[in-house]
Amino acid sequence: MRIVVTRRVPEAAMVVLREAGEVWVSGEDRPLSPDELREAVRGADAVVCMLHDRVDGAVADAAGPQLKVVANVAVGYDNIDMPALAERGVTVTNTPGVLTDATADLAFGLLLAVTRRIGEGERLLRSRTPWSFHLGFMLGSGLQGKTLGIVGLGQIGQAMAHRARAFGMRIVYSGRSRAKPEVESALHAEHLSFLELLRTADVVSLHCPLTPETRHLIDAEALGAMKHSAFLINTTRGPVVDEAALADALLRREIAGAGLDVFEKEPEVEPRLLEMDNVVVTPHLGSATVETRTEMALLAARNVAAVLAGDGAVNEVRP
């Protein structure tokens, strides 16, 4: 069995993959280009890929009819053309669960950083700007009693809500479907329409997957519906937010600030956002802990091993 891995993975995952077949790993310290990806996958029975690899029908055809499984080392799988792979009988897997806490931690970190001006304060000191304590100095917004609006109350949205509850925040949420009553009551979470959530929340945190329906969910109109004092946090996928519209809204002071871990055209970032003190940015670090990234790679490797052994995948995603 030939297993193609598009980017280096932790050794623990390599051990599992080597037991399942002959492994080829890209030696590049960058994403493969579309041409390189099609070339690399030739003859593969399994492909372990990253969120920056676009895996579509052309990639599956380049691999050949023996391709059995594409294991995405991510929970999101918007980079995979699901109908094209289903048509070719290829199993697609992802890595849910193992990155829930790490991603919620980072989302809450961005929330604290932007509401308490942590990045701005750090930059002030590093620029050696003279300063002194006074009662009006660099005031941020407190969280206690404020409302967190969660868009998408899945596993990560719920983990974010738990953190916010510990900080005394009230939780409202919107999403495709209503959460189970026990989830709502554990989080004291109130279900609102998307528009009501935008109008109500002091912080809006995005946890929905990227789909055709959620692309540019946060556009000029949505930003216009938010409170002028509200903050936006995005740790899901960049294209859920219209980044140019966000920069416009921030410049016009339509919202108070943003904490962003993901970007519309990663690795590029809308340059105006980088100039703003009320924007905190991190380079797609949601799942970036040693423990979590190891678990993600291991889960992907286990999915490959299970499918190649003829067993069902551990985490199959369906179109």
- Supply the residues annotated as catalytic: 237, 266, 284
Residues 6+ apart with CB under 8 A from 153: 161, 173, 175, 179, 183, 187, 189, 207
Grouping H, G, I as helix, E, B as strand and the rest as coil, residue 59 is helix
Q: With contacts defined by CB under 6 A, name the span among 68-76, 137-145, 219-227, 306-314 that binds ligand DGY.
A: 68-76
CB of 210 to ligand DGY, least distance (A): 9
Q: CA nearest 72: which of 308, 296, 319, 305? A: 296
Applying CB under 6 A, the site for ligand DGY has a residue count of: 7
Largest Cα separation within the chain, whole Å, is 69
Per CB under 6 A, 286 contacts ligand DGY: yes
241 is a site residue for ligand DGY (CB under 6 A): no
Q: Which residues pair with 189 in a beta bridge?
A: 171
Please tell me whether residue 153 binds ligand DGY under the rule CB under 6 A: no
The one segment of 71-79, 84-92, 162-170, 310-318 that binds ligand DGY by CB under 6 A: 71-79
* Nearer of residues 143 and 258 to ligand DGY, judged by Cβ: 258
Q: Which amino acid is at 286?
A: G
Residue from the set 6, 287, 303, 315 that interacts with ligand DGY by CB under 6 A:
287
SS3 sequence of 22-50: EEEECCCCCCCCHHHHHHHCCCCCEEEEC
Shortest distance, CB of residue 240 to ligand DGY, whole angstroms? 12
Whole-number Cα distances in Å, 240 to 90, 103, 104, 150, 262: 27, 17, 17, 14, 9
C-beta closer to ligand DGY: residue 2 or 108: 108
Does residue 80 belong to the site contacting ligand DGY (CB under 6 A)? no
How many whole angstroms separate alpha carbon 221 and alpha carbon 241? 11
Contact between 154 and ligand DGY by CB under 6 A: the answer reads: no
The answer to whether 85 contacts ligand DGY (rule: CB under 6 A) is no
Question: Does position 106 bind ligand DGY by CB under 6 A?
Answer: no
The sign one gets for the Cα dihedral 115, 120, 122, 125 is negative
CB atoms within 10 A of CB 88: 13
- Asked if 157 touches ligand DGY (CB under 6 A), the answer is no
Binding-residue pattern over the window 172 to 211 for ligand DGY, x denoting contact by CB under 6 A = ----------------------------------------
Beta-bridged to residue 172, according to DSSP, are: 149, 190
- Binding of ligand DGY by 100 (CB under 6 A): no
Among 228, 173, 227, which residue's Cα sits nearest to residue 205? Answer: 173
Q: Which stretch binds ligand DGY (CB under 6 A): 72-80, 126-134, 225-233, 245-253?
A: 72-80
Is there binding between residue 99 and ligand DGY (CB under 6 A)? Answer: yes
Binding site for ligand DGY (CB under 6 A): 51, 74-76, 99, 286-287
